[in-house]
Amino acid sequence: MKIAVIGVTGLVGLEVLKVLEESTIFHHTELIPIASNQSVGKMVEFNKETYEVMSIGDGYEANPDIAIFSAGTEVSKAWAPRFAGSNISVIDNSSAWRMDENIPLIVPEINAGILNRKNRIIANPNCSTIQMVVPLAPLHKEFKIRRIIVSTYQSVSGTGQRAVNQLENESKGKKGDMAYPYQIFDNVFPHGGDFNETGYTSEELKLVSETRKILDDNNIRISATVVRVPVFNGHSEAVNIEFEEEFNIDDVREILNQTDGVIVEDDIPGLKYPMPINVRGKDEIFVGRVRRDFSNANTLNMWIVADNLRKGAATNAVQIAEFIVRNKLI
């Protein structure tokens, strides 16, 4: 098995390498590390071996079995179809293909079963979408979601290394390159992605459209507000869910406890609830503050936290790759 990682020197690309190393399926994989021209020739470590980073053209010629793209929308649009046309399974972390009706948008715990051998490009959802839909999917199946109101509290690593550097510099009182229009240290701003004419941002609209596609229900009403917070890694979400059916709070907890990839951390007397500082490096999605919203019928509040570089990106992509291999879809 040969796996190409495009964007291998970025935050997500490096995390993909870690997750691949932890995978029993890909433990003996040959790596094809690919990055931009600025990074060609650099060395990366994988499974105790050293690999030289190559250009995307050379990586394509190496004919991998699977290619995990984490290099941005433009690279994915230009190269993913070429890889797919050579019968290479492409798993794309960008937003390039997510809403293409012919491209599956996959969270393995929810809808990997729709994949078949014809799917040569598979889209990985937005990090905030992934961590929200995994606990919501079984609740939707049981009680039918009518409306979702979500506010996210997103870490700077979701923006990339420049944003991480900005927060590091500002926390030390240093001036440097800025990824954001404002200081992020000791600050919070309601801005993630690009604003459009409606006043919503691209990050907020992704939560709407991707959630509907993954849950296969365009009737769900969704309103999102994205907030950037001075946290290095780990996204948090306050989610309010209105169901069509009445629910018992104990049944909700039981469903969440039985959901693959979800850990319920909700001990109010012990002051235990999910926090970004505790989820880093973990693949699970943590859910707490599970409680009824008494202001509206059939409505639930939850607090959801996950490592946005792991399950929000790298882990989900590798889990898709594992599903492809296990089910012989290559």
Q: Which residues are catalytic?
A: 127, 235
The amino acid sitting at 273 is Y
Say what the alpha-carbon torsion angle 81, 117, 70, 230 is, to the nearest 10 degrees.
130
Phi/psi at 176 (nearest 5 deg)?
A: -170, -170
Pairing relation of β-strands 285-292 and 262-264? parallel
266: Cα within 13 Å, side-chain hemisphere: 22
Task: Provide the token pair at 82.
Answer: 């070429």
Q: Residue 3: which of 12, 21, 11 has the closest Cα?
A: 21
**How far apart, in whole angstroms, are the C-alpha atoms of residue 64 and residue 283?**
26
What's the rounded Cα separation, in Å, for the pair 278 and 297? 33
* Residue of 283, 273, 289 lying closest to 308 (CA atoms): 283
CB atoms within 10 A of CB 215: 19
- Specify burial of residue 314 (Cβ count, 10 A radius: 0-12, 13-18, 19+): buried
Q: What is the dihedral of CA 153, 136, 262, 1, to 10 degrees?
A: -90
Tell me the H-state helices in 150-239: 161-171, 202-215
Instruction: Dump strand ranges (E) for 102-194.
Output: 121-123, 145-154
